[in-house]
Structures are given as C-alpha cells and as structure tokens.
Amino acid sequence: MGQAVLRSAGVRPKLAELAAPGHTALVTQECQGAVMGVDAGLAVLAAEARREALPNITRLVPLARRAGVRVVHCLVQRRPDGLGSNHNARLFGAAARGVDLAPGSVGATLLPELGPESSDLVLTRWHGVGPMGGTDLDAVLRNLGVTTIVAVGVSLNIAIPNLVMDAVNHGYRVVLPRDAVAGHPAEYGAAVIDYSLSLLATVTTTDELVDAWRPR
C-alpha cells in the first residue's frame, strides 16, 4: 500500500487552519546534547538528525515564536545512579552507558541554537519513551488552549511514534514535518512516516509550515 493510497483514506485539512497559531504548539522532542549533539550516545542517530532535521528545526522554532505558536521543549534526564528511571528494556541500558543525562549537564540541556527563549516552556522527564506520559505536557498544552501539536525532533524509531500516538489518544491533532524529524536508518524513518504516522498525523514539510506561519 503506497503513500498515495494512505492519503486517500481521509481529507487533508488546510495546513494554515490546522496549524493556526492560536491553537498550535511546536513540540521539540529530545533536541538535547546527549541525543543530537556531537558527543551523543547514539552517534549514528545524532548524525542523521543533524543532517536535515536539526537545520529545519532551527528554522521552525524562531518562526513559531514570531507567529505566536507556543514552543515547548521536551527533554529527558537521568540521575547518575539511575534512580527513578526505567530499567525494563534494552534501550534504557544502552542509553545509560557513557551518556551524561544528569540535570544541568550538557547532555540533558536543550541545544543552544534552539534557546530556550523566555516565552518557551521546557519540560523534562525521568522515565518512559515519550513526553506525554513522562511530563506534564498534556496538562500544559490544555492550559494553553492547544489542540494541534507540531512534532519535531527524534527519533522516528521510538519517541516520535510514541508522541504522535499518545497525542492522538489524548485528542490532539498532529502535524509532522517529515524533514524536521529523524530516525536511523533514514530509510526506516521514512517508512515509519509513510506507512504508520501518515495515518495519524498530517505529514508536511518545513517549507509548507513556513508558508503557513508567514504573516498574511
């Protein structure tokens, strides 16, 4: 089943209406040193993210602020002794080895090219594989009047699908700029978008969002 067939399953709403600033938040996922930085724990994922996704995220974040779209950064942190964090999957053991996610460390801090600015919100989690279940993201977005989430960041292997599915389960509409998210290998990430996330989110591009958020 090709992407065109999947898109025919429903009518795509106009992006400018779906992602209108008054009810939209740009949510960045794990855009932090230990995940996307030059010394990240998963070097192949970080390199893939920096190739295309990060440059596009750095375009979208300041534009979102100027347009009046709320910007929320979701980060992960971990105590050096691991207390309170997950240990129940292979991922957590691999991520813990040699990666400093202690609060205040470079690894647990938002990449400096993304801010944060005073108008941004920064939420951190100690556990889980996505921000909707590990932070106050849902309550914060509802208090802001948000009904549409624009999801960017990493990874298409685990955290981005988790965020998209949790957001849909919580009643949000999701916009996914395919060139502002990353997974490894790149071909797998593209397949996740085309054959799974396209059924749940409105898949778009950075350029299309830039046009939608441009002042009229």
pLDDT per residue over 137-165, tens digit each? 999 999 999 999 999 999 999 999 999 99
80-91 pLDDT per residue, tens: 876 766 556 666
Q: Which one of 3.40.50.10800, 3.30.930.10, 3.40.50.850, 1.10.760.10 gives the CATH number of domain 24-211? A: 3.40.50.850
**Reported confidence tier of residue 216, pLDDT bands at 50, 70, 90:** confident
Please give the pLDDT value at position 133: 87
Q: What pLDDT, in 10s, does the model give residues 89-148?
A: 666 665 556 688 889 999 999 999 999 999 999 999 998 778 998 889 999 999 999 999
Domain range annotation of the chain: 24-211
pTM (2 decimals)?
A: 0.90
Cα distances (angstroms) measured from residue 109 to each of 23, 40, 86 = 27, 12, 20
Q: Is the pLDDT of residue 185 over 80?
A: yes
